[in-house]
């Protein structure tokens, strides 16, 4: 079974649990357990961590399916699955043994990889302190990822000229103070809590470099491409999945939808037909671009080539474009659905809130497109954050 098949098999449990997840403000226990029993939770891991090492095409289509089912479920998919993928791939052997092997690879991980913390270097590791916002998927995670900057004698450690060293710590849940704060417009069911860590010792073997592309486990090209492409693919696929759910729901609704003072069903209106054709085509084009950009980079790495700044820029721009296109599709679907899209608890209403929450993320912002264009134009040789 592919990862896409595993996700498809969860449609019923996700449909039944979506409203409960929103009420709980974190993924329902039934859905989390289904992710485990199906094998989906570990599917993206390297083989040593219980995964199947899927291709980018398979990861993208899995995330699209998950987000189509429910925006919060899809968001947990692009939070928990890449977090455990990264930890299982890049942790030193001792850290992998402690976190994964000792727990039979049953490890749910979420959190914030951006280096909002500071790690004071001490013998054997770091004393970690900091505060992180929007720790996606932490509501049900046994381990929490926390990005930080190492400090040596009160000074920031530098990885290269102008580039600070950025590391990720993997911290057991009981050493983390959760602030919650997850009272939001959309993605309510993701358990994206704020959290803090206060002077906690993290051994070196439970840390890895944020931008590393040197896998300790796994043989797929993705393991040699690092966290940024995997994260970008997730954001692109998530937006496409939510938008597709709205386009599909509106297409189904159109046969029976009558607007006030309109004697014909929505499906018979030429303006609706034109709009549907345009937005479905735009969605398909965005999906093809995402598959092309990530597939091209993956093939290059599989063939032994370097993951160049240009290839990285192509992937990030594809993710931004897919997000912008998905948002436009969602807006159109919401408008043509009329009052059917505003009734609380419907898929259309929830998806609309979700997409306008998830697309606020900095990872697919305007600045990313600008950084990528500067690489294309030769204004800069590289942008390390791409």
Q: 259 or 12, which is more confident?
A: 12
Measured distance CA(87)–CA(49) in Å, rounded: 9
- Averaged over 76-81, what is the pLDDT? 98
**Amino acid 257: pLDDT:** 67
Coil, strand, or helix at residue 54? coil
Residues 228-237 have a mean pLDDT of 98
pTM of the full structure: 0.96
Among the listed residues 173, 355, 163, the one whose alpha carbon sits nearest the alpha carbon of residue 246: 355
The CATH number, out of the four listed (2.50.20.20, 3.30.70.3270, 3.40.350.10, 2.40.110.10), of the domain defined by the range 109-209: 2.40.110.10
CB 64 within 8 A of CB 244: yes
Rg (CA), the chain: 21
End-to-end CA distance of the chain: 32
Examine the pLDDT at 132 and tell me if it is beyond 90: yes
Is the pLDDT at 42 greater than 90? The verdict is yes
In 3-state terms, what secondary structure has residue 113? strand
Task: Note the pLDDT of residue 381.
Answer: 94
Confidence of residue 64 (pLDDT cuts 50, 70, 90): very high
Can you read off the two tokens belonging to residue 280? 């479905």
- Bridging pattern class, strands 109-122 and 158-160: unpaired
Residue 258's CB: how many other CB atoms inside 10 A? 11
Q: Is the pLDDT of residue 341 over 70?
A: yes
| The domains spanning 3-90 and 109-209 adopt the same CATH topology | no
Percent of the chain with pLDDT over 70: 98
For tokens 């809130």, what's the residue?
A: 353
Distance, CA of 348 to CA of 331 (rounded, Å):
11
Each residue's pLDDT tens digit, 134-187: 999 999 999 999 999 999 998 999 988 888 999 999 999 999 999 878 999 999
Q: Is the dihedral of CA 293, 298, 300, 301 positive or negative?
A: positive
Helices (H) and strands (E) in the chain, counts: 11, 10
- One-letter-per-residue 3-state SS of 250-273: HHHHCCCCCCCCCCCCHHHCHHHH
The whole-chain average pLDDT of the chain stands at 95
For the cut 90, the answer to whether the pLDDT of residue 334 exceeds it is yes
Domain ranges across the chain: 3-90, 109-209, 225-377
Second-level CATH architecture of 225-377: Up-down Bundle (1.20)
368: phi then psi, degrees, rounded to nearest 5: -65, -45
Q: How far apart are CA 280 and CA 277, in angstroms?
A: 5
Give the span between the Cα atoms of 51 and 42, in whole angstroms.
5
CB contact at 8 A, 140 and 108 = yes
For position 261, what pLDDT does the model report? 67
Please, what's the b/e burial string for 133-166 (b: 16 or more CB within 10 A of its CB; e: otherwise)?
Answer: ebbbbbbbbebbbbbbbbbeeeeeeeeeeeeebb
- Partners of 167 in beta bridges: 148, 209
> Is residue 175 within 8 Å of residue 111, measured between CB atoms?
no
Q: Is 313 helix (H, G, I), strand (E, B) or coil?
A: helix
CA distance linking residue 188 with residue 167, whole number of Å: 29
What is the distance between the alpha carbons of residues 255 and 264, in angstroms, rounded to a whole number? 10
CATH superfamily, with its number, for domain 3-90: Acyl-CoA dehydrogenase/oxidase, N-terminal domain (1.10.540.10)
Which residues does 149 contact at the CB level (< 8 Å), separation at least 6?
A: 115, 117, 118, 119, 156, 157, 164, 165, 166, 167
Q: 122 - beta bridge partners?
A: 125
Question: Under DSSP, is residue 148 helix (H, G, I), strand (E, B) or coil?
Answer: strand
């Amino acid at each position: 079974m592919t990862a896409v098949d595993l996700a498809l098999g969860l449609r019923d449990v996700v449909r039944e649990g979506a409203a409960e997840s929103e009420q709980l403000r974190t993924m329902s226990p039934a859905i989390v357990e289904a992710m485990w029993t199906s094998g989906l939770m570990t599917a993206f891991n390297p083989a040593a961590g219980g995964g199947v090492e899927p291709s980018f095409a398979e990861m993208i289509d899995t995330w699209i399916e998950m987000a189509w089912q429910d925006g919060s479920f899809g968001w947990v998919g692009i939070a928990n699955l890449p977090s455990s993928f990264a930890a299982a791939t890049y942790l030193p052997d001792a850290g992998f043994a402690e976190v994964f092997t000792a727990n039979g690879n049953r490890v749910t991980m979420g959190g914030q990889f951006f280096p909002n913390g500071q790690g004071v270097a001490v013998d054997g590791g770091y004393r970690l302190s900091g505060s992180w916002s929007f720790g996606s998927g932490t509501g049900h995670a046994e381990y929490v990822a926390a990005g930080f900057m190492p400090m040596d004698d009160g000074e920031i450690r530098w990885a290269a000229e102008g580039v600070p060293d950025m590391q990720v710590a993997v911290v057991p849940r009981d050493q983390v103070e959760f602030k919650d704060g997850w009272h939001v417009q959309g993605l309510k069911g993701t358990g994206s809590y704020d959290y803090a860590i206060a002077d906690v010792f993290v051994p070196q073997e439970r840390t890895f470099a944020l931008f590393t592309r040197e896998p300790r486990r796994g043989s797929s090209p993705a393991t040699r491409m690092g966290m940024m492409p995997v994260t970008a693919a997730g954001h692109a696929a998530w937006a496409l999945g939510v938008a597709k759910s709205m386009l599909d729901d509106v297409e189904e609704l159109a046969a029976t939808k009558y607007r006030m003072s309109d004697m014909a069903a929505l499906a018979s209106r030429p303006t609706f037909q034109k709009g549907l054709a345009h937005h479905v085509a735009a969605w398909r084009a965005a999906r093809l671009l995402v598959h092309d950009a990530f597939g091209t980079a993956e093939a290059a790495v599989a063939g032994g080539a370097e993951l160049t700044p240009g290839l990285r820029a192509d992937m990030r721009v594809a993710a931004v474009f897919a997000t912008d296109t998905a948002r436009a599709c969602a807006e159109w679907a919401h408008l043509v659905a009329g009052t059917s899209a505003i009734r609380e608890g419907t898929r259309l209403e929830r998806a609309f809130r979700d997409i306008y929450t998830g697309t606020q993320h900095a990872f697919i912002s305007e600045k990313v497109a600008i950084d990528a264009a500067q690489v294309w134009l030769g204004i800069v040789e590289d942008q390390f954050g791409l």
